Amino acid sequence: MTREEGDAVRDEAPLRPVDVRARHLWIRLAETQAEIEAAQELRYRVFVEEMGAQASDEMASTRREFDAFDPFCDHLLIFDTTAGEAPGRVIGTYRFMRREQAKLAGQFYTESEYDIRPLLDYPGEIMELGRSCVDRDYRTGGNMQVLWRGITAYVLFHEVALMFGCGSLHGTDVEKLAQPLAYLHHYHLAPEELRPRALAERYTNMNLLPKEAINARSALHTLPPLVKGYLRLGGFIGDGAVVDHEFGTTDVCVVVKTDAVTDKYRRSLTRGEAGSVPSGSEGG
């Protein structure tokens, strides 16, 4: 190949907002409808078959979990390059939506549960995260680290200033979730200028126990890994929870300012060093 031909090949290569490789894993955005459908198939296995979420007849017949927002979102994928045909088997996914995409879709998904006007008024780019899941056989700290390296790359590429989304606690019996919900309310409530509030018709009070009655360490331990991970990033929680019977969860609105992520943590995510990372699954 001549130098000129090599330059031409490089010029034709796609500029990927996310292009992270670690061992046998490759993480990037979905580039074809088939790749989006592979992510939806993974979501079906995790959310419906494993976690018991409700599925429409069409979802059941296609064995894919999907909604009206999917066509407007970016879908982050983790491929196992050693499994299946190139680029490999999709073993993890996360769904992103920015302002421009939400405008095309009509709204953010989170707006079906929360009044997010304080977030919409925030200067700069904002990004909704949701539909996070990883194949049962790949739920290790190292694989989660790779996933978050991809998220960091996306945030830096689009200069995202604020991330938010619905974090899910498993179960719909609020009384059984009183301690973690009250803990989030008393210890991690967002400042008023950044505080989403559950829609009036869906609002569930999180102030279910007085602060002095909460064992903070025990309550933190009971939180899903994904929610704990957001809190480690300096995240806040909105006012009120929302019971999502479709997914069998109780949702809280999580808000993370990207400048709250320390330089050290950014470097660890970018380089893939060991550290605590958000993990687990969420439907929102």
Query: How high does pLDDT run on average in the chain?
Result: 88
In sequence order, the β-bridge partners of residue 163 are 127, 256
Question: Which is it for the CA torsion 148, 225, 169, 211, positive or negative?
Answer: negative
Q: How do beta strands 125-134 and 197-198 pair?
A: unpaired
Indicate the length of the chain as a whole number: 284
Place of tokens 């904002």: 126
pTM: 0.87
**Strand, coil or helix: what is 201?**
helix
The confidence band for 275, taking pLDDT boundaries of 50, 70 and 90, is: very low
Return left, alpha or beta for 13; rule: phi > 0 is left, psi -120 to 50 is alpha, else beta: beta
Set out the domains of the chain in order of their start, with CATH numbers. Answer: 3-271 (3.40.630.30)
- Pairwise CA distance, residues 37 & 250, whole Å: 27
pLDDT value, residue 217: 93
pLDDT (tens digit per residue) in 170-210:
999 999 999 999 999 999 999 999 999 999 999 999 999 99
Please give the angle made by the CA atoms of 47, 199 and 167, to the nearest 5 degrees: 35
Q: How do beta strands 160-170 and 236-237 pair?
A: unpaired
CB 129 within 8 A of CB 165: yes
For 139-150, the DSSP string reads: -SHHHHHHHHHH
Q: What is the mean pLDDT of residues 154-170?
A: 94
pLDDT (tens digit per residue) in 44-71:
999 999 999 999 999 999 999 999 999 9
Give backbone dihedrals phi and psi of 259, rounded to 5 degrees, phi first.
-75, -5
Q: Is the peptide bond before 71 cis (omega within 30 degrees of 0)?
A: no
CB 199 within 8 A of CB 114: yes
Tell me the CA end-to-end span of the chain in Å, nearest whole number. Answer: 48
Most confident of the following: 228-232, 243-247, 270-274: 243-247
Please give the angle made by the CA atoms of 207, 209 and 215, to the nearest 5 degrees: 120
Report how far Cα 177 is from the mean position of its chain's Cα atoms.
Answer: 21
- Pairwise CA distance, residues 219 & 256, whole Å: 20
Place of tokens 């088939």: 34
Q: How do beta strands 125-134 and 242-244 pair?
A: unpaired
Burial string for 109-142 (b: 16+ CB within 10 Å, else e) reads bbbebbbbebbeebeebbbbbbbbbbbeebbeee
